[in-house]
Amino acid sequence: MSETRPAPLAGLKVIEISAFVAAPLGAMTLAQLGADVIRIDPIGGNIDANRWPISDDGTSIYWASLNKGKRSVTLDLKSEEGQKIATDLIAEAGTLVTNLPARGWLSYENLSQHREDLVMLRLNGSHDGKPAVDYTINAASGFPIITGDDERPVNNAIPAWDVAAGLYISNGIIAAELERRSSGKGQEITLALSDVMLATVGNLGYIAEVQATGKTRGPLGNGLYGAYGQSFATSDGREIMVAVISNKHWRGLGKA
């Protein structure tokens, strides 16, 4: 019988105060790695507690899916009593993930007075602190212009930048936790949804392409830029996607 090993983040306690996709996904990823994640919501539920899709009994499938493996506390965070209870929970845990404005009682300056080695990760919309959401950030990336097969911009149905930011959040907390274990010091980490998008666009070569060629890509439809890819309708009414990115793929397609 094999020995059951503890989860990688067993023993790490995280407080989450957030809404919508990126921060809850980041905290859920930490929970899946073994962290004890406690989510604090307003009494009566957060702004996205009833977001679609919903089940027949009115339960938000979206909310339940993003908060698997977490524990839950509801507090009136507008009251001094609620803020004190939340502060005590954060101080006891030592790690906080939030996408709320970090000012007043929720500021790092205040919370670190209650826990000197506090690790706090705060997600903003833009690098300058202004609000933004996945779909506005995606529009700014230019990707809607090359989505679809005509000149109308088409936004992505998948909140890709929220998902990417959520994984950056979990990586950021893990990195800060490793640093704290070696140095004994906490830190505040600020992450912006817009910076996640810009870093990704840069890493994939889109920025350098415009700098080098002075051109942007037009609508691609289901075509695959830089290789062969296209969708086809079959005689039995289905749609298939064929992608070829290597010589082996070409040989396999020819054989097929």
Residues composing the chain: 256
CA 122 and chain centroid, separation: 12
> Rounded to whole angstroms, how far apart are CA atoms 36 and 72?
11
Token couple for 99:
């996408």
Q: Is 12 exposed, middle or buried (0-12, 13-18, 19+ CB in 10 A)?
A: buried
Single out the catalytic residue among 36, 162, 195, 236: 162
Which one, of 90, 60, 61, 59, lies nearest residue 73 by Cα? 90
Tell me whether residue 162 is one of the annotated catalytic residues. yes
Catalytic residues: 162
